[in-house]
C-alpha cells in the first residue's frame, strides 16, 4: 500500500509540474504585447508641455519595439509595447476620467503619467487606490510625495530644492544684486516653487522688493510689470509654466524694464516656442536647468539627436523627463522579470536605474535621492549650462541683454 501511495504521489507531482509548465507557456502565448496607457494634454493651456511629453513617450516606444520589445523573463522573452492614450484637453477632471477608463475598461498593464503637478496630484489618488505604479514625469510639487503613497515615483527635481542653484549664484553676486522681485503663476507646482524660493532668499538675506501672483495662463502683464519696475529690483525671477513667459518677456521690453538678472522657470527649454519667437529679446535669460543634452550621462546626446531627427525640433526638458520615466519603467520591468505590478513597485523602491539624467535611486516616498540642480542661459540663441561651474563647460552667467 505504501509503495502504491508513493507512486501515486510521484505521478500527481509530475502532472502538476507539467500543468504548471503548460500554463506558463500558454500565458506567454496569450500575452503578445505590453499595453501602457496615459492621458495627456494635447490641447488646451498645457498643450505645449503636454505635446512634448507625448512625443517622447512615442519615441521611446518606437525605439523599444525596434529592439524587439521589453524583456520579461516570466513570459519567456521580449514583448513589444503598445501605447494607448487620450487627450485630457488640459482639464484635471478629464484626466481622472481617462485614467479610470484606462484602468477599468482598457485594463492596461501599466500607466504613464499625465503632464503637470496638478494633474499628477489628482490622478495619483486613483492609481494608488488601484495599485498601479506610476513614474510621475512632471510632478515637482513636494506635496505630491508627502501623502505616504507607495506607488508613485518622482522624475523631476523637487520644488523645495529647485531654486538652490539660483540662490547660490545670487549669493556670489551680492555686490551687484541686493534686491529681487518675484512674479509667480497660480499653479500647484509654481506656488510650491515660490514658497521654497522665498524661504531661501530670506535665509540668505536678499531683500524681496516685490512679490506678485498672476493667473494661470496669463497673457497681459503690463500693469504688474510697471509696478515691479517701480520697485527697481536688481534681479527679477519669474516662476511660470509656458507660454506666459513669452508674453511677459515681450512686455518687459515694451515697458522698459531691464533688471541685471532675469530668470524664468520654464522658457528657453522650448527652443522653437520661446527662443524662436522672442529672438534677440531672449538673450541673457536664465532658466532652471532641469535637463540638458550636454550633461555627462550616457544616452543624453543620443536622445537629443533622435528626438530632433524624428520631430525636427529640440526636445524640451518635459520631453526629456518623459523619456527618463520610460527608461526607469523599462528597467524596473526587466529587473523584476514580470508584469506583476506589485513586484514592479517593489523593484522601483529597491533598484537603481540609469537614465539620461544619471542614476535614479528611490526612497520609500518615491523621491529620487539624487537631485541635480543647475542653471541654463540663452547665449547667442543657444541654451547653455552656466551654473554651477563644474557643469558649465567654460560658460558663465552674463547680464540680461535683450
Whether residues 384 and 268 fall in one domain: yes
- Per-residue model confidence as pLDDT tens for the chain (402 residues): 444 444 545 454 444 444 444 434 444 456 899 999 999 999 999 999 999 999 999 999 999 999 999 999 999 999 999 999 999 999 999 999 999 999 999 999 999 999 999 999 999 999 999 999 999 999 999 999 999 999 999 999 999 999 999 999 999 999 999 999 999 999 999 999 999 999 999 999 999 999 999 999 999 999 999 999 999 999 999 999 999 999 999 999 999 999 999 999 999 999 999 999 999 999 999 999 999 999 999 999 999 999 999 999 999 999 999 999 999 999 999 999 999 999 999 999 999 999 999 999 999 999 999 999 999 999 999 999 999 999 998 889 999 988
Is residue 397 domain-resident?
A: no
Q: What CATH number does the domain containing 178 carry?
A: 3.40.50.2300
d(CA 361, CA 200): 26
83 and 9 in a single domain? The answer is no
With respect to residue 193, please indicate whether it lies within any of the assigned structural domains. Answer: yes
Is 369 part of any domain? no
Same domain for 337 and 354, yes or no, is yes
Same domain, yes or no: 203 and 253: yes
Do the domain assignments include residue 398?
Answer: no
For residue 120, what is its C-alpha cell?
499628477
Q: By three-state DSSP, how is residue 211 classified?
A: strand
Per-residue cell: 303: 536622445
Nearest-angstrom CA–CA distance, 191 and 188: 5
Asked, for residue 401, whether it belongs to a domain, the answer is no
Kindly state whether residues 224 and 324 are assigned to the same domain.
no
Let me know whether 305 and 336 are in one domain. Answer: yes
**What letter would DSSP give residue 49?**
H
Q: Go through the chain and tell me how many residues it has.
A: 402
- Residue given cell 522665498 in the structure block: 198
**Structural domain for 143, as ranges:** 32-157+295-360
Sign of CA dihedral 27, 30, 33, 35: negative
Q: Is residue 167 included in any domain, yes or no? A: yes
Residue 342 lies in a domain: yes
User: DSSP letter at 274?
Assistant: I
233 close to 259: Cβ distance less than 8 angstroms? yes
Pairwise CA distance, residues 391 & 21, whole Å: 53
Is 174 in the same domain as 245? yes
Report whether the peptide linkage leading into residue 292 is cis, meaning its omega lies within 30 degrees of zero.
Answer: no
Residue 125: DSSP 8-state: H
Are 123 and 177 contained in the same domain? no
In a domain, 84, yes or no: yes
**In a shared domain, residues 146 and 171:** no
Q: What phi-psi label fits residue 44: left (phi over 0), alpha (psi between -120 and 50 degrees) or beta?
A: left
d(CA 122, CA 249): 31
User: What CA–CA distance (Å, rounded) separates 225 from 244?
Assistant: 13
Q: For residues 32 and 81, what is the distance between their CA atoms, to the nearest angstrom?
A: 9
Is the separation of the CB atoms in 347 and 336 below 8 Å?
yes
CA 348 from centre of chain: 17
Do residue 229 and residue 348 come from a single domain? no
Residue position matching grid coordinates 552667467: 397
Both 318 and 331 in one domain: the answer is: yes
Number of domains forming the structure of the chain: 3
Same domain (yes/no): 110, 2? no
Amino acid at each position: 500500500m505504501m509503495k502504491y501511495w508513493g507512486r501515486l504521489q510521484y505521478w500527481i507531482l509530475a502532472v502538476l509540474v507539467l500543468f504548471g509548465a503548460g500554463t506558463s507557456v500558454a500565458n506567454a502565448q496569450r500575452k503578445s504585447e505590453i499595453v501602457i496607457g496615459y492621458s495627456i494634454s494635447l490641447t488646451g493651456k498645457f498643450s505645449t508641455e503636454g505635446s512634448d511629453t507625448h512625443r517622447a513617450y512615442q519615441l521611446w516606444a518606437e525605439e523599444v519595439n525596434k529592439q524587439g520589445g521589453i524583456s520579461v523573463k516570466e513570459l519567456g522573452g521580449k514583448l513589444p509595447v503598445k501605447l494607448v492614450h487620450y487627450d485630457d484637453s488640459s482639464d484635471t477632471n478629464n484626466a481622472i476620467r481617462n485614467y479610470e477608463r484606462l484602468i477599468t475598461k482598457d485594463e492596461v498593464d501599466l500607466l504613464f503619467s499625465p503632464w503637470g503637478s496638478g494633474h499628477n496630484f489628482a490622478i495619483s489618488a486613483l492609481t494608488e487606490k488601484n495599485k498601479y505604479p506610476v513614474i510621475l514625469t512632471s510632478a515637482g510639487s513636494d506635496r505630491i510625495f508627502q501623502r505616504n503613497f507607495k506607488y508613485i515615483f518622482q522624475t523631476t527635481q523637487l520644488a523645495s530644492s529647485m531654486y538652490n542653484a539660483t540662490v547660490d549664484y545670487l549669493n556670489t553676486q551680492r555686490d551687484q544684486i541686493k534686491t529681487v522681485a518675484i512674479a509667480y503663476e497660480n499653479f500647484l507646482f509654481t506656488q510650491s516653487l515660490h514658497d521654497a524660493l522665498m524661504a531661501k532668499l530670506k535665509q540668505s538675506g536678499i531683500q524681496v522688493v516685490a512679490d506678485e501672483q498672476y493667473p494661470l495662463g496669463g497673457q497681459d502683464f503690463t500693469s504688474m510689470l510697471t509696478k515691479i519696475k517701480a520697485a527697481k529690483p536688481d534681479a527679477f525671477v519669474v516662476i511660470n509654466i509656458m507660454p506666459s513667459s513669452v508674453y511677459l518677456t515681450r512686455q518687459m521690453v515694451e515697458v522698459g524694464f531691464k533688471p541685471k538678472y532675469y530668470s524664468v522657470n520654464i522658457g528657453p527649454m522650448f527652443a522653437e516656442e520661446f527662443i524662436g519667437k522672442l529672438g534677440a529679446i531672449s538673450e541673457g535669460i536664465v532658466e532652471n536647468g532641469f535637463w540638458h543634452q550636454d550633461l555627462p550621462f550616457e544616452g543624453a546626446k543620443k536622445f537629443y539627436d533622435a528626438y530632433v531627427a524624428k520631430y525636427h525640433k529640440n526636445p524640451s526638458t518635459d520631453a526629456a523627463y518623459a523619456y527618463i520615466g520610460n527608461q526607469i519603467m523599462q528597467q524596473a520591468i526587466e529587473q523584476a522579470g514580470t508584469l506583476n505590478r506589485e513586484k514592479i513597485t517593489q523593484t522601483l523602491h529597491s533598484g537603481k536605474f540609469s537614465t539620461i539624467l544619471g542614476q535614479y535611486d528611490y526612497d520609500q516616498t518615491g523621491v529620487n535621492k539624487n537631485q541635480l540642480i543647475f542653471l541654463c542661459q540663452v547665449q547667442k540663441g543657444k541654451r547653455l549650462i552656466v551654473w554651477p561651474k563644474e557643469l558649465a563647460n567654460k560658460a558663465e552667467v552674463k547680464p540680461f541683454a535683450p
